[in-house]
Each structure stands twice: as C-alpha cells, then as structure tokens.
Structure 1
Amino acid sequence: MESSDTGASASSPPPSPVPPSWPSPTPALPLLVVVASPCAACKTLRRRCSESCVLAPYFPPSDPAKFAIAHRVFGASNIVKFLLTLPESQRDDAVSSMIYEASARIRDPVYGCAGAISQLQTQITQLQAQLAKSQAELISMQIQRANLMEQLHMTKSQESCPQQFIESLLNSPHDYQINSCLDDYNGFGSFWEPLWT
C-alpha cells in the first residue's frame, strides 16, 4: 500500500509556489522601440537622421523654420562645414548668428545685417542729438529759474524803489518768463497797475 501511495504522490503535480489568490502572470510584452523623429534639417533634406547628425542639436524637429531660413541663404553643406570647424561650445552661438544673418538677408538682400546695424546707428545718433538738446534746454531753464529766484530775493531789499526794480526786470533777457511769473505773484500787483495806465 505504501508503494501505491508513493506512486500516486509521484504522479501528482508538485504544489504551486504561487498562492491561488494571486493573479496569473501576464505574458511578456514585446519591447517598444522608441524612434526619435528626425531633426528639422534631415526632415527638410529628406534624409535619414543618425545619432551622429551634426545638425540635430541645433535644429530640433519642433522648429523647422529655423533650418529653412538658414538653408535658404547658406545651404546645408555650408552650414555643416562651418559647424565642423568650430568647437562644440561655440556652435550654438554660431547657429543663432547664421539664423539672424539669414533673416536679415531675406528682409534686405543687398545689405543684410549691415543695413540693420546702419539703421540702428542712425537712430542712436538722432537720439543722442535729442538728448543733448533736452539737456541744453534743462540747463537753460535752471539758469532762468536761478536768475528769477535771485531777482525775487532782491525785491525785499529794493522795496523802497520799486520803479527801478521793475525796469531792471523788464530789461532782462528773460522778461517773458519773469513777467508771467510776476503776474501770479501777489506782492507785485500794486507795482504793475501804474505802468499799464
């Protein structure tokens, strides 16, 4: 009997290491291969973009207009040659400069960036002239204000002879501003009445 029991136990499957309450394992999923989209340069040129593409770091697929502008003016082979002559630390600035120059060349085919620089220099010259004129006017107004304040302070000492004081004010080179200021000043109302009658 023991042999039959041992034979029966040998033919039965071994107990499962996974408890019956656990879900059965899912079959292995195939690995998804993520394919990066080609850079804007390779997409425009309709060629395969490799990992060692020189243009990929500077012309991302999300902004194809950058490469289109630079390619239109410089050409793809010239851009690649130029980038290969530079160290990697300077390539980003070089691409930005090429895009700026190409945009300026498209707007102004004759002068390009030089035309934009010349226009900006003309604006700077005009603004400097306006600033110098404004500073000269400011200095002139400060001098007029100082003269007016000096003459107003003189009134206290010259109250005994107001006629001479009024004549000195009228003969000053800035009498148009002084007269308007004195019209508003209450202390001179009695002086002006005899002059106008």
Structure 2
Amino acid sequence: MESSETTATATTVSSLSPNSSSSSPPSQVVLSPCAACKILRRRCAEKCVLAPYFPPTDPIKFTTAHRVFGASNIVKFLQELPEYQRADAVSSMVYEAKARLRDPVYGSAGSIFQLQKQVNELQAQLAKAQAQLVTMQSQQANLVAFICMEMAQSPPPQPPSQPSNFDNFNMSSPPYNLFLDETNPGSLWDPLWT
C-alpha cells in the first residue's frame, strides 16, 4: 500500500551509472506538495485531485477558494466534473470566491450588475451623440444648399470699369493741404475753441 502511494514530498535520488567518472554528488529532486495539501497540512497523494489546479507556487489561489467553498466541497465538485472542465471550474470558483470576499451579499452578481449599468449609460450617451451628429450633418447640408441657392440667384460681380477715387488722391489738394500748410506752421496747433 505504501509503494502505490508515492508522496510529492518524497526525495528521489537519481542513481549514477557505475561507468560514469563524474565527481559530482548524486542530484536530488524534491517535489513539494500542492498548495491545497500544504495549507491543509496533509500528505499530497500522487493522484491528488487538487494538485494540477493549485500549484505550490500560488497558495493564495487555494486560500481564497477554501475560505468561501471549503476544501471538501472543492474536491467533491472537481470529482464530479470531467477532466477537461476542471481548470475552468477552478478559475470560476476562485473568481467567485474573490467576488464574495469583496461583496459578501451579491458576490460576482454585484459586479455584473454594475457593469451592466455602465453599459446601459454608455449606450444612452452613444445614442445621444449619434443623434447630435445626424442633426449637425443635416444642418450642414441645409447650409450648403442655402449658399448654393444664394450664389445661383445673385449676379456675378462686375469688374470695375472706371478708376476708383484713390487713383486721383492728392495730398496737396484741399482739404488735406490745411494740415500741411508750410507758410503757417502754427495752424496745426491752434486751439479749436477760445
């Protein structure tokens, strides 16, 4: 019975062949128990149901699931499932256990409710933004149509046929010569009232 039940904590010593001339000591491989057996302080059997899903490097994973579900329920649940579904079941149990520790009343349902509420709010905001976009596009189309109609109704501007007034502009002609009167330099500074 003892030979069939190999423990994961057993130390195996690899034997060296007598022909090898290596001076190194025989190597020892120490296999540690799974995180579940280590936390439960029990011997980890060779065919431990929990070992593939709770490695010794991640004890938090089992501790979290153990707090909410209990070790016997986890083992019973895994034994009832086929092998290919067990990894997903353990992930689900750990996720639900974390959610239950955060929110003991609603668990993961509370998180789902909050996420669904956010999705609904975002969908409402998206619908509002899309409606505003359609309104702005129709306003732009109306404005472009109005501008095209105005341009079609108004006659094209005629180029000027006669010279403008600025072409004949002369600073020496009245009334501009008042300020530039060189004979009476004080005329610029005379008071406007007396």
Deviation at 1:67, TM superposition (A): 0.3
Gaps of 5+ in 2: 1-18, 156-194
- The 1:156–1:27 alpha-carbon spacing in structure 2 relative to 1, beyond 3 Å, is closer
TM-score by length of 1: 0.65
* 1:25–1:115 distance in 2 versus 1, CA, 3 Å: closer
Shift of 1:155: 1.4
- How far the C-alpha of 1:159 sits from its partner, in A, is 1.4
Q: Where do 5+ consecutive residues of structure 1 fail to align?
A: 1-23, 161-197
For 2:121, the equivalent position in structure 1 comes to: 126
Cα deviation, 1:86-112, whole Å, max 9, x if unaligned, reads: 000000000000000000000000000
- Partners of 1:82 and 1:137 lie apart in 2 by 53
Instruction: Work out the CA distance in 1 between the residues paired with 2:34 and 2:20.
Output: 40
Once the two structures are TM-superposed, the CA of residue 158 in structure 1 deviates from its matched residue by: 2.1
Indicate yes or no: 2:33 matched with 1:38.
Answer: yes
Q: What pairs with 1:60-99 in structure 2 (closer than 5 Å)?
A: 60-99=55-94
Using a 3 Å threshold, how does the CA distance of structure 1 residues 25 and 144 change in structure 2: closer, same or farther?
closer
Q: Does 1:51 align with 2:32?
A: no
RMSD, matched Cα: 2.0
TM-score, with length taken from structure 2: 0.66
Report the number of matched residues.
Answer: 137
CA offset at residue 34 of structure 1? 2.0
Distance 1:25 1:150, change over 3 A: closer
CA apart distance, 1:147:
0.3
Paired residue secondary structure (1:34) = strand
- Structure 2 residue aligned with 1:145: 140
Matched-pair identity in %:
66
**2: CA distance, partners of 1:132 / 1:27:** 76
Quick one: which amino acid aligns to residue 87 of structure 1? Answer: P
